[in-house]
Amino acid sequence: MDEKDLELLRILEENSRLSAEELATLTSLSSCEVEKRVLALEAEQVIKGYSTVINWERVGNGEVSAIIELKVSPERNYGYDRIAERLSRFKQVKTLRLMTGTYDLQLLVTGKNMQDVSRFVSEHVAPMDRIRETATHIIMKSYKENGNTLFELKEPERLPISP
């Protein structure tokens, strides 16, 4: 991993749709070299995938997201890993993190509607062994996702020409 790899990662994190040619001109590498590096980063699982930031509110499909906090009794020898891995396998769980503080695991869960989310929590998450307590927080509105603000920012006004 060198400076050029880091540069490529920073560019791709912001926009993964650039072609190898575009990446090449930005970084002053050849497109062959870019492709080689990106393949290597994928192979090393540094690049885990390519996704799109979507403002679902605009789509208006009524999808609901919730942050779920779990208090969990850790297992001897495994800590939180096994239970976290089990939870991760549900496709409703978009993000899962182990936290410091008053609870242990934090899940970001999405569902078609409120019932969908609450059924998932009450039927799949809460009854699981070792889960002592759950708290569900429905997300009311999102202002920023993955570094992208979801509200309009006015373009800064600049003079059309200046010395």
* Chosen residue from 4, 5, 11, 69 binding another protein by CB under 8 A: 11
Q: Rounded to the nearest whole angstrom, what is the least distance from the CB of residue 149 to another protein in the complex?
A: 11
* Chosen residue from 27, 106, 118, 136 binding another protein by CB under 8 A: 27
163 is a contact residue toward another protein (CB under 8 A): yes
Cα 29 from Cα 16, distance rounded (Å): 17
Cβ proximity to another protein, 61 vs 148, nearer residue: 148
Cβ proximity to another protein, 60 vs 156, nearer residue: 156
- Of 54-62, 89-97, 134-142, 152-160, the segment contacting another protein by CB under 8 A is 152-160
Query: What token pair was written down for 114?
Result: 């409120």
- Contact indicator for 16, 50 with CB cutoff of 8 Å: yes
6-10, long-range: CB within 8 Å, 24+ apart, which pairs?
8/34, 8/37, 8/38, 8/41, 9/41, 9/46, 9/47
Pairing between β-strand 64-72 and β-strand 131-138 as defined by DSSP bridges: antiparallel
Q: Rounded to the nearest whole angstrom, what is the least distance from the CB of residue 30 to another protein in the complex?
A: 12
Q: Which of residues 104-143 bind another protein (CB under 8 A)?
A: none
